[in-house]
């Protein structure tokens, strides 16, 4: 009955309501701002995202609309293990860095251009009657939308068989004299002490010879204490020859991203589409999310412009999710050594194939080549364990 009452109450009608205005929504708003004039939009989020709250690193082809917003990009990256340094040429792709502030600004500009309504309130209930959705906050109904794009963080509908996290702390370090090599980005440096269960690595993303993001990351089941991140980061920075006494920490970046084979529901009801991490855009085997969010944002904008429903393709093919599930299991159950696993992946595949695989856009043939490059026996055991667990489930 509640929704019938909503029909009586005068609330604004829009074509699209964004419930959650973070990364996924900002990319989609920016794409709509470019392509979809005349669409009526509302954004509902208790926080109006502005400024620098995260840094996105991602790979892709150069020449996109985001290029003017990038802080840096690299045509090659290094992967380092105790055995040595592997320089990976990425052309025709490139590794890029986008700080959040310019993206949030672009999204805000798009909101202004589109005349979007903004509700600074949490959304609580979404009532979908199959032809429209009423979004309600703590004070009652806020807006009626033809479609809702919901990116509120939420756990997967079906918990994972393996539940890891990508968790990290990064420092934006500033120097008074040249210290960093802006043309050399380190994707993963596995010379960090390895956790008993999990994989750790450091990395360095320099935007100039005096300013860089230096980070300590773990793929493992649980977060660390505050002090443990600092200790690990100091140790990593010193291990690569940085003199911390002569550097200033300008910003601190912390993050926890799910790495799970749990099931994220992308379409919980006919007119609600989940976006971002909540919609399964986070790649289970790495925690990378940005490229899938970007791809889906462009798809949605094209669909809306063409008068079609704003429903993007699934972020990753089912076979990739299965491969990730097997990989997570192999790492979690100690069937493979994490550092050796990633090193081998880059040793036996062209970097472009690995990166396109992680983005979910490789072909069957390329996927078979990727599988053939991983250690056969442990991965077969992990696949058998995965199959048994699915059968039990």
Ligand X SMILES: Cc1cc2nc3c(=O)[nH]c(=O)nc-3n(C[C@H](O)[C@H](O)[C@H](O)COP(=O)(O)OP(=O)(O)OC[C@H]3O[C@@H](n4cnc5c(N)ncnc54)[C@H](O)[C@@H]3O)c2cc1C
For the chain, the straight-line distance linking the first and the last C-alpha, in angstroms and rounded, comes to 37
Contact window for ligand X (CB under 6 A) among 66-74, 108-116, 147-155, 189-197:
147-155
Tokens 């990116």 sit at which residue? 151
Backbone angles phi, psi at 219, to 5 degrees: -105, 105
Residue 326 contacts residue 390 (beta carbons within 8 Å):
no
- Rule CB under 6 A: is residue 214 a binding residue for ligand X? no
Give the C-alpha separation, 336 to 313, whole Å: 32
Among 6, 14, 17, 23, binds ligand X (CB under 6 A): 23
At its nearest, how many Å lie between ligand X and the CB of residue 12?
A: 17
DSSP letter assigned to residue 245: G
At its nearest, how many Å lie between ligand X and the CB of residue 235?
A: 21
Contact window for ligand X (CB under 6 A) among 65-73, 231-239, 240-248, 283-291:
283-291
Helix (H) or strand (E) holding 1: none
Number of residues that bind ligand X (CB under 6 A): 30
- Rule CB under 6 A: is residue 285 a binding residue for ligand X? no
- Rule CB under 6 A: is residue 288 a binding residue for ligand X? yes
Among 211, 216, 264, 290, binds ligand X (CB under 6 A): 290
- Rule CB under 6 A: is residue 336 a binding residue for ligand X? no
Residue 77 contacts residue 342 (beta carbons within 8 Å):
no
Residue 97 contacts residue 73 (beta carbons within 8 Å):
yes
Residue 348 contacts residue 373 (beta carbons within 8 Å):
yes
- Rule CB under 6 A: is residue 253 a binding residue for ligand X? yes
Q: At what angle do helices 290-305 and 23-35 cross, to 10 degrees?
A: 30
- Rule CB under 6 A: is residue 56 a binding residue for ligand X? yes
Contact window for ligand X (CB under 6 A) among 4-12, 44-52, 138-146, 331-339:
44-52
- Rule CB under 6 A: is residue 143 a binding residue for ligand X? no
Residue 167 contacts residue 217 (beta carbons within 8 Å):
yes
Contact window for ligand X (CB under 6 A) among 139-147, 222-230, 270-278, 304-312:
270-278
- Which residues of the chain form contacts with ligand X (CB under 6 A)? 19-25, 44-47, 49, 54, 56-58, 122-123, 151-153, 253, 255, 257, 276-278, 288-290
């Amino acid at each position: 009955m509640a929704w019938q009452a909503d029909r009586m109450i005068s609330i604004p009608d829009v074509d699209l309501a964004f419930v959650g205005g973070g990364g996924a929504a900002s990319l989609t708003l920016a794409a709509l701002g470019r392509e979809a004039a005349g669409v009526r939009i509302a954004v509902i989020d208790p926080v109006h995202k502005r400024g620098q709250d995260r840094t996105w690193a991602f790979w892709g082809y150069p020449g996109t609309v985001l290029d003017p917003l990038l802080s840096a990009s690299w045509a090659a990256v290094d992967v380092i293990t105790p055995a040595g340094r592997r320089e990976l040429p990425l052309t025709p792709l490139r590794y890029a860095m986008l700080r959040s502030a310019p993206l949030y600004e672009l999204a805000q500009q798009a909101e202004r251009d589109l005349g979007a309504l903004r509700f600074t309130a949490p959304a609580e209930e979404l009532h979908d009657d199959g032809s429209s959705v009423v979004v309600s906050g703590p004070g009652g109904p806020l807006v009626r939308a033809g479609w809702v794009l919901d990116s509120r963080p939420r756990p997967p509908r079906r918990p994972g068989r393996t539940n890891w996290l990508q968790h990290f702390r990064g420092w934006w370090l500033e120097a008074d004299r040249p210290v960093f090599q802006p043309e050399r980005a380190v994707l993963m440096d596995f010379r960090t002490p390895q956790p008993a269960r999990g994989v750790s690595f450091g990395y360095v993303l320099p935007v100039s010879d005096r300013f860089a993001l230096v980070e300590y990351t773990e793929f493992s089941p649980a977060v660390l204490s505050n002090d443990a991140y600092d200790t690990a980061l100091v140790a990593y920075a010193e291990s690569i020859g940085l003199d911390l006494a002569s550097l200033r920490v300008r910003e601190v970046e912390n993050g926890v991203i799910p790495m799970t084979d749990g099931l994220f529901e992308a379409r919980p009801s006919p007119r609600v589409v989940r976006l971002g991490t909540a919609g399964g855009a986070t790649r289970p085997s790495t925690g990378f999310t940005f490229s899938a969010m970007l791809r889906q944002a462009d798809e949605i904008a094209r669909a809306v412009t063409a008068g079609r429903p704003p429903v993007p393709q699934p972020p990753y093919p089912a076979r990739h999710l299965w491969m990730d599930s097997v990989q997570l299991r192999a790492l979690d159950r100690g069937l493979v050594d994490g550092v050796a696993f990633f090193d081998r992946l880059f040793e036996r595949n062209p970097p472009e194939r690995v990166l396109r695989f992680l983005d979910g856009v490789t072909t069957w043939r390329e996927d078979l080549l990727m599988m053939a490059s991983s250690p056969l026996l442990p991965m077969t055991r992990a696949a058998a364990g995965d199959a048994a667990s699915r059968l039990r489930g």
